[in-house]
Amino acid sequence: MQTLRTLGDLEREGLLTPDPRLVEAARSMAIALTPEMLALIDRTDPADPIARQFVPSTAETEIAEAERADPIGDEARSPVRGIVHRYPDRVLLKPIHVCPVYCRFCFRREAVGPGGEALTAAELAAALAYIRERPAVWEVILTGGDPLMLAPRRLGELIAALDAIDHVGVIRVHSRVPIADPARVTEALVEALRPRRAGLWLAVHCNHASELAPAARAALARLADAGIPLLGQTVLLAGVNDAVDTLEALMRALVTARVKPYYLHHPDLVRGTGHFRVPIARGQELMKALRGRLSGIAQPTYVLDVPGGHGKVPIGPGYLADDPDALTVEDAFGGRHSYPG
């Protein structure tokens, strides 16, 4: 079966009913739903958490005043095509702008998809030269789009080019491929992800425990067995994972698959995605509940990407309160205790 790419494809699978507003929603962002993700959808559940992530909704036509086309300020921090330089010691490098699936909440939904900005050979050379000329850049984050959509040969060449830059100590790759299209994680791709000198980390985007199907677990195992450390990135999404039991199950599933939960992202102010956002106070409540249920290796950091390109900040709950004589510490189960400050 092929990846579903049109409203008609989704209609034939019984995932939506025709509505003129869906045409507008589909026009605002590409559609892609792989057979692997399709197989996870419960067709009898109108609120299925997998379908909610990938099937267009009429709610996408409702755009709030605060929502932005470039919610985290990539354009303002892009000195060279394909580069985003937000922090002194690291840069994003976006070599490709296609993905195996298109998440309806994507913060780059205005740029990714067929016909989106992909780097030419000359543009990639200029991006690498930018990194090479800046000794302060210690970490390069390959993102996009999805870097693992590159052919293994091209990916290997890019990893090797970065590895040859002495001051680049870490290469981080952000990908949905091991979850959404696990068959792409071949021996050739795994080999391409093994630089000789720099450390390489792979951050995997996963939002629900059911996404960790047997094929996805096998793909992650191939990566972990090759010595590639795996991180988990999750977006907090209303109707998908905004319940403590759901988040707990996801974090346990990730750790069992040898993926360390890294970030729980608060949804960005992407146009037409208000139906996915939860209040920050709710996210903090969920993080407090997780603290009492999960060990440290299963705890992500709850973060907000400050609109306008100002970077990520942790927004997790606090556990200290002022006291006239000492600090008051709240434990993971809600108990409060004095501690000499």
> Using one digit for the tens of pLDDT, what is the confidence trace for 242-253?
999 999 999 999
- On the CB side of 58, how many CA atoms lie within 13 Å of its CA? 6
Active-site residue identified among 74, 99, 104, 130: 99
Which phi-psi region, left, alpha or beta, contains residue 160 (left: φ > 0; alpha: ψ -120 to 50)? alpha
**What is the C-alpha radius of gyration for the chain, rounded to an integer number of angstroms?**
21
Active-site residue identified among 87, 258, 260, 293: 87
Is-catalytic flag, 52? Answer: no
Report residue 218: phi and psi, to 5°. -65, -40
* Residues 239, 244: Cα–Cα separation, whole Å: 12
Active-site residue identified among 90, 154, 222, 260: 90
Q: How confident is the model at residue 300 (pLDDT cuts 50, 70, 90)?
A: very high
Q: How confident is the model at residue 322 (pLDDT cuts 50, 70, 90)?
A: low
Report residue 169: phi and psi, to 5°. -95, -25
Is-catalytic flag, 108? Answer: yes
Note the helical H segments in the chain.
Answer: 7-12, 20-28, 35-38, 49-54, 121-132, 152-163, 177-180, 187-192, 214-225, 244-256, 280-291
* Residues 24, 29: Cα–Cα separation, whole Å: 9
Is-catalytic flag, 260? Answer: no
Write the pLDDT tens digit of every residue in 213-236: 999 999 999 999 999 999 999 999
pTM of the predicted protein model: 0.93
Provide the 8-state DSSP code for 295: -
Is-catalytic flag, 288? Answer: no
Is-catalytic flag, 77? Answer: no
Q: In what order do the strands lie in the sheet with 320-321?
A: 320-321, 327-330, 336-339
Q: What is the pLDDT of residue 109?
A: 79
* Residues 161, 248: Cα–Cα separation, whole Å: 39
Transcribe 173-202 into DSSP letters.
Answer: EEESHHHH-GGG--HHHHHHT--SSSEEEE
Q: Can you tell me the mean pLDDT for 20-28?
A: 89
Active-site residue identified among 94, 103, 262, 271: 103
Q: What is the pLDDT of residue 113?
A: 77
Is-catalytic flag, 86? Answer: yes
Report residue 286: phi and psi, to 5°. -65, -40
Active-site residue identified among 70, 74, 146, 268: 268
Is-catalytic flag, 106? Answer: yes
Q: What is the pLDDT of residue 324?
A: 59
Active-site residue identified among 77, 86, 104, 291: 86
Q: What is the pLDDT of residue 116?
A: 62
User: Is 65-313 assigned to CATH 3.20.20.70?
Assistant: yes
Query: Is the Cβ–Cβ distance between 292 and 255 less than 8 Å?
Result: no
Is-catalytic flag, 103? Answer: yes
Q: What is the pLDDT of residue 118?
A: 78
Write the pLDDT tens digit of every residue in 35-61: 999 999 999 999 999 999 999 999 999
* Domain regions of the chain by residue span: 65-313
- On the CB side of 149, how many CA atoms lie within 13 Å of its CA? 21
Active-site residue identified among 77, 94, 104, 108: 108
Q: How confident is the model at residue 73 (pLDDT cuts 50, 70, 90)?
A: confident
- Look-up: residue for tokens 């709710």? 282
Write the pLDDT tens digit of every residue in 106-151: 988 777 877 666 799 999 999 999 999 999 999 999 998 999 999 9
* Residues 201, 180: Cα–Cα separation, whole Å: 19
Pairing mode, if any, of strands 301-305 and 312-314? antiparallel
Across all residues in the chain, what is the average pLDDT?
Answer: 93
Query: Is the Cβ–Cβ distance between 33 and 48 less than 8 Å?
Result: no
Write the pLDDT tens digit of every residue in 328-339: 878 877 888 776
Is-catalytic flag, 312? Answer: yes
Write the pLDDT tens digit of every residue in 267-290: 999 999 999 999 999 999 999 999
H helix or E strand, kind and range, residue 87: strand 83-87
Q: What is the pLDDT of residue 321?
A: 74
* Residues 235, 220: Cα–Cα separation, whole Å: 19
Is-catalytic flag, 305? Answer: yes
Report residue 338: phi and psi, to 5°. -80, 145
- Give the residue with greater pLDDT, 332 vs 172: 172
